[in-house]
Structures are given as structure tokens and as C-alpha cells.
Structure 1
């Protein structure tokens, strides 16, 4: 008798869920994402912009880590199609680090990476502390109440990132205005594109101007790489742009962290009375805070890949949610609770794989300095308004308080 061939039917595709970006209050976890996490390891989503109908979304910790570290999923391929997305404007720059695959990614990243090593960041610590002390001195001299975002959380990381990038002091406010417009989704595609054109044009000129120098700031390092032929000018500009924008993320992340401290007296007291717990607390807060709206950049499957019994076919787009992975109960028990005694070091708040955040070491240092300095110098630090009156940014890709009124 001929052998019978048994073909196992693949499970039906999950439904496509629309994911509009609604108003999100405070540090609440995005309710749409919470529902998607309940559906299963892989769901299908449709965001506000883009042409293609849907994309896969992975929410489980193990799947997120696998996809972001697997060469079968390509960022480069995702840069040439108009996938469903959050941002109103989509025009990846040639040579952009965020859209590069290996080995090209390492070539692009290498030129600037020496400015972000542990030793380089340590050398920057003294100057960073000077910047922070000057800001806190001025705030305390003026007396309470004060807007912590305006007085410290915004100018501090912007000044530090400008220091490491090599942006002159008299140009910093202009550069900051452009980066803020780029991460906003409120102004639409035209405003975002205009800000990008201004910022990247400024960076290109700065790189040209430094080709005869030997500085150790990022713009000088990239200029040297262009001069040596290691990078094309457009590649150097594309590497520098996202690094410059990184200061905005720290403003919003630290704003969420201080909001949590200021609205949870037990957490504030523990952080104030036990400085030794602060490093672990920072990791737990990085795990917990919803640092962005929706999802970031997609990848494309280069071949058919089976994940959790579901076939992702070659050519299909895939998003991962680091926010969801950081709330995976199989990795972080009782994930919706802040527990600074847990080991949260395995979180993926800075990403994973080749595209792990270049500035992670710098970010951790600045958050540590903010906690140590403000808790030491501002006795009885507290909100100056009821918690529900703290305004949070809306219609922006990076979440955080618009202002944080405090007293001491």
C-alpha cells in the first residue's frame, strides 16, 4: 500500500487589530497593547499610517529577543516599503544605522562607538555633574515651586548629549527644537520632514567643518571617518542624527521615573533612605515605565519562520514590543507592580541584539546622577500640584510629563 501523507493544517491567522494612539494618562500601560498581549504570542496590527494592511506583533519576552537577534529578520528590507506604522512620515535616510543589517551595521556604528564606551562615559561624568549642579543651583536659588522638567530634566540630558556630540552652546537650543519636532506626531509629515531637513543639514555642515580637527566628540569622530573613507558623508550624518535625538528620550524617561517617585511616598522614602538600592531601582523603573507609544521600527522576514506554531512568511513585516516583553509574567512575576527588590537586569528597555541602544551606558549614568543629586539637595521633594494635574505629552512617540511642578 502506498504510504499516506498527512498534512497538518496550520492555525488560522489571528485577526488584524487597529491600534490608534489615543490619550494616555500618566504612566499607565497602553490598554490596546495590554489586550494584544492576552491574545497570544503573535498578533496582527494596523497602525495609523502606511500603505500595507497589517504587520505581525510579537509580545512575549523570548520571542522578542529571538526576533531581534536573528538575521532572518531584516531591518534593511523594512526600509524600502511603506509598512503600517505610527509615524506620519517615512523616508529612511541612506546609511541610517537604525535600518542597517550586519555586517554593515557594525561598520556604521564603529565610527562613533568610542564616544559611548564605559571609559569614555566615565570621563564625561565630572563635566556632567558640573552641568547638573549649575541647573539645580539655579532652581534652588529661585525657590519653589519649580517645573522639574523645564529646570533640570530637559536641559541636563540635552546639554550632556550636545557635549558628547560636540554641539556648540549657542547652537544647542536650535538643535533641541528640531529634535522635539521630529519625535512629535502632532505636527504631521510636513513639520517632521522640515525639522529633519534642518537638523541633518546642520549636522552635515558640522561634519564638513571638522575634517581638519582631531576632537573626540562624535561629530569629529564621524568627520574623521569620512575623511579616511570609512564612511560616506551621508552615512555619517545618518549615524549622528539619532544619537543627537537621544537626549529627548532621557528627558521623558527620567520624567516618568520622578513622577512615580513623587506619587508613591513609600518608593520615595526607600530611595532617599537607602542609596544602595538605587542601581537596582533604576533597572526596575526602566523595565516598568512605558517609554514610548505603540511600537518602533519593523523588521521583514527574509524566509519563512515558525514562531510559537505560527508561520511568518518571507516578506511579511514584524514588529516587536519591548514594553510588552518587559511585562512578560514568565520573566518578571507580577509585572505590573514596581518591585525594586527584584532582579530586573534582564529587561529590554534599551533594545536587544545589534540595535541595542548605543547610549545605554550614558543614559544610566545620567539617571543615577539625577537621583543622587536631587534627593540629596532637595529635602522633602514633592509634587506642587495634585498628581492628576500633571500634564503628560500627547501625540508623541516618546512618552513623558510635559511639566512636573515640584516643591521642597
Structure 2
């Protein structure tokens, strides 16, 4: 009788070493060299960030990032009860914040405002958004070159459109815009904290004032949801804050994209000569730009999960890098090259899974309008200074030019 021999179990893969990932002030559109090293080291590495406690797993491959961000075994809500290693010095999640909600709570919170960000709602908004943008460009043409595109267009345009979507009364818009600019500026934590307190106080009063729910703007939707008992007032305020501030990402992402167009003549020519293909080029630029510093928000493994033979233990914090996933050579061959002929539609610039960006459709519209309108209405658009003299934001999570001096 032949005795069956059970093959030995594969030996567990030893965990990688813990790498320190400092907060780097990177120039221009340079890709983070630490992240590039981590990507070369393996699909799963371990990192220690400047604040918080301990270390965390980091996933950099497209497939793994997609899996983790869509898998209920990895929890955002659990992070609020822990001091995990992180990029930001302060950690104070607000109740109602979609960023820290798991299912089914996430859907409950998102439902009251979802109608404001659908494809059809954004399509209806397009003429008004174009009108706001045209007024700003009219001002540029009236005053003549040179001009700072950030101050004159890239900041006020997304802020103005977001105020329309949110339902900010005209008389309140100057101070809401001022608070928003202060919150996302690099002037210091104290000034940003004061502005945030003021903005959230104003949001609280506005949600209360909109209890009748009249209208289809976000504050009307939130007032209605609170009145109907769908969400609490505290949750409504936590929901509204990030949405009200959300235009900042459009400002800085478009700033990076325009910088690339202004410094790469072949890209600029492509956008001007083949306007019907601008959308595809924007997808490639969204894939390529390093839109943030380091990583975003962590998740916690709720049970043991094995990836690539490595055990992520229950309770371990896990980060994903969308920037790294967007440069996965298995999905985007020759990923460090900007290739306008590439099909970049699988990019993860707006995230993935339940936490896919609420305002992604709106952000995409604003980027299309900004680039298209500026190229069409400002012939000969060019930098007014050498590229190395463009000032970039410092000590910030969202990367982009602080000023973008141009002539035409």
C-alpha cells in the first residue's frame, strides 16, 4: 500500500522591514522618491509616517489597491478609535464625515446629498459653471497679461461653482470663500483652525435655517434630511464641511495639469489641434499628476487577510497609494511617460469603492471647462516666468502651484 505524502505548507513570507516615510516638500510635479522606492521593494511594504503611533502596511499595486478599497474586511471607522501612524499632526474626525464611515452607515450618510452630484445634476449645472468661468476670463482679457492664473481663475472658479451646488446665499459667499481659502492655505495651523471653526459654525446655522428643505441644493437636501430624521444635525454638518471645501482639489489638480501643458509644447499642441480628444488627455494627466503628498486615510484590518503570501493581521493599519496604483506597469505600460494616446480610463485619481470621490463627476466637468476655455480664449497662452520660478505649495497634503504667472 502506497502512503500518500502531504506536501509541506509553503513557508510564510517574512514581513518586509519598516521604512520611515518623512513629509517631503517636493518641487513641481516630481514623483515622491520614497514612494518610488517602496513600489520597487514589493507589492506590500511597511511604513512609519511622521505622526501617530506604530507602523502600517502600504499597498502600491493597482489590483491590491482595488481589492483593499472595496473589501469590508478593511475598516475606515475603526481608525477613529486608534492612534495609527499618519501624515497629519492633528487627528479629529467629525461625526458624519463620509471619509470615516463604513457600510451600511456610509450609504445612509451619502444618500441625502447624492442627488446633487449625479451625471444629470452636473449636466444641468454646466451652463452656469461656464458662465462663472467666462466672467473670470473676461476679467483677464480686460486687464491684459501678465496674470496669475491661480489667483484669477483656478481658485475662484471651483469655489464659485461649489457655492452654487451647495446653495450658499450670495451675501455669504465672500466670507465662505475667505474661510475656505484660509483652511487650505499654508499660513499655519492656528489660522486654519480659526477659519474651520468659523466655517463649521456658519454651516451649522445654515443647516438649521434650511429645515424646510426647499430647493435642490446641498444645504436644502441636508436640512430636509435632518428634519426627516434621516441624519442628525451633527452628521449633516460633518457631511457638508468637506463638500464645501472640496473645490481645493480641483484648483491644485488643474494647476498641475496646466503647468504640464505650459511646459510641454507637444501636449499643448495636441490639446489645441485635436479638441475632440481633450477628455482622453485629461484622463492621462489625472493618472500621471502627483496630486497629493504621501498617502491619505488609513484602514484597519478587521480579520486576518493574506496577500502575496503575507499575513495582514486583524488590527493592522493599512494604507493604499492611488498615486502608485496609477503607475503600475502591469496596467499602464511605461507608466512614468505622459502618453496622450494611452487609454488611461482605469486610473484611480478619484479613488475606488465606497469612498470613491463624491464630487468626481463635478470635478471632471470643472477640469474640462477650465482647460478648454483657457486654451480657446487665450491664444498663445504661455508661462510668464521660467518654469523653475513657478512657486509651489509647501507643507501641504494637496500639491499644486501656489502661483501660475502667464501671458498670452
Which band: TM-score by shorter chain?
over 0.9
- Taking the aligned partners of 1:203 and 1:217, their CA distance within structure 2 comes to 14
Q: What residue number does 2:39 align with?
A: 37
Q: Residue deviations 1:124-163, cap 9 Å, x none?
A: 1111111000000001110000001111111000000011
Q: What residue number does 1:257 align with?
A: 257
User: Is the CA contact (8 Å cut-off) linking 2:186 and 2:393 kept in structure 1?
Assistant: no
User: Is the CA contact (8 Å cut-off) linking 2:280 and 2:344 kept in structure 1?
Assistant: yes
1:42 is displaced (CA, Å) by: 0.7
1:309 is displaced (CA, Å) by: 1.1
Once superposed, what is the RMSD of the aligned Cα atoms? Answer: 1.7
> Taking structure 1 as the reference length, what is the TM-score of the superposition?
0.96
Q: Residue deviations 1:80-110, cap 9 Å, x none?
A: 1111111111011112111111111011001
1:338 is displaced (CA, Å) by: 0.6
1:170 is displaced (CA, Å) by: 3.5
- Taking the aligned partners of 1:360 and 1:372, their CA distance within structure 2 comes to 18
User: Is the CA contact (8 Å cut-off) linking 1:89 and 1:193 kept in structure 2?
Assistant: no
User: Is the CA contact (8 Å cut-off) linking 1:144 and 1:406 kept in structure 2?
Assistant: yes
Q: Residue deviations 1:233-281, cap 9 Å, x none?
A: 0111111111111100000000000000000011101100110110101
Tell me if 1:20 matches 2:26: no
> Taking structure 2 as the reference length, what is the TM-score of the superposition?
0.96
1:40 is displaced (CA, Å) by: 0.3
Give the 3 Å change call, closer, same or farther, for CA 309–183 of structure 1 in structure 2.
farther
User: Is the CA contact (8 Å cut-off) linking 2:22 and 2:50 kept in structure 1?
Assistant: yes
- Taking the aligned partners of 1:355 and 1:137, their CA distance within structure 2 comes to 37
Q: What residue number does 2:137 align with?
A: 136
- Taking the aligned partners of 1:186 and 1:99, their CA distance within structure 2 comes to 27
- Taking the aligned partners of 2:6 and 2:156, their CA distance within structure 1 comes to 71
Q: What residue number does 2:51 align with?
A: 49
Q: What residue number does 1:150 align with?
A: 151
1:169 is displaced (CA, Å) by: 3.1
Q: Residue deviations 1:200-224, cap 9 Å, x none?
A: 2211111001112411110110010
User: Is the CA contact (8 Å cut-off) linking 1:382 and 1:406 kept in structure 2?
Assistant: yes
Q: What residue number does 1:83 align with?
A: 84
1:6 is displaced (CA, Å) by: 4.5
Q: Residue deviations 1:171-197, cap 9 Å, x none?
A: 334323433444457624x44443332
Q: What residue number does 2:389 align with?
A: 389
- Taking the aligned partners of 2:402 and 2:192, their CA distance within structure 1 comes to 19
- Taking the aligned partners of 2:250 and 2:347, their CA distance within structure 1 comes to 17
Tell me if 1:325 matches 2:307: no
User: Is the CA contact (8 Å cut-off) linking 1:26 and 1:401 kept in structure 2?
Assistant: yes
Q: Secondary structure at the residue paired with 1:43? A: strand
Q: Secondary structure at the residue paired with 2:95? A: coil
1:298 is displaced (CA, Å) by: 0.4
- Taking the aligned partners of 1:121 and 1:295, their CA distance within structure 2 comes to 29
- Taking the aligned partners of 2:13 and 2:185, their CA distance within structure 1 comes to 39
User: Is the CA contact (8 Å cut-off) linking 1:89 and 1:192 kept in structure 2?
Assistant: no
* Correspondence list, 1:156-171, <5 A: 156-171=157-172
- Taking the aligned partners of 1:377 and 1:115, their CA distance within structure 2 comes to 29
- Structure 1: gaps of 5 or more residues: none
User: Which 10-residue stretch deviates more, 17-26 or 316-325?
Assistant: 17-26
Aligned residues: 406
Give the 3 Å change call, closer, same or farther, for CA 267–354 of structure 1 in structure 2.
same
- Taking the aligned partners of 2:255 and 2:362, their CA distance within structure 1 comes to 17
Q: Secondary structure at the residue paired with 1:56? A: strand
User: Is the CA contact (8 Å cut-off) linking 1:87 and 1:185 kept in structure 2?
Assistant: no
- Structure 2: gaps of 5 or more residues: none
Tell me if 1:245 matches 2:250: no
Q: What residue number does 1:72 align with?
A: 73
Give the 3 Å change call, closer, same or farther, for CA 182–304 of structure 1 in structure 2.
farther
Give the 3 Å change call, closer, same or farther, for CA 87–185 of structure 1 in structure 2.
farther
Q: Secondary structure at the residue paired with 2:47? A: strand
Q: What residue number does 1:343 align with?
A: 343
Give the 3 Å change call, closer, same or farther, for CA 177–271 of structure 1 in structure 2.
same
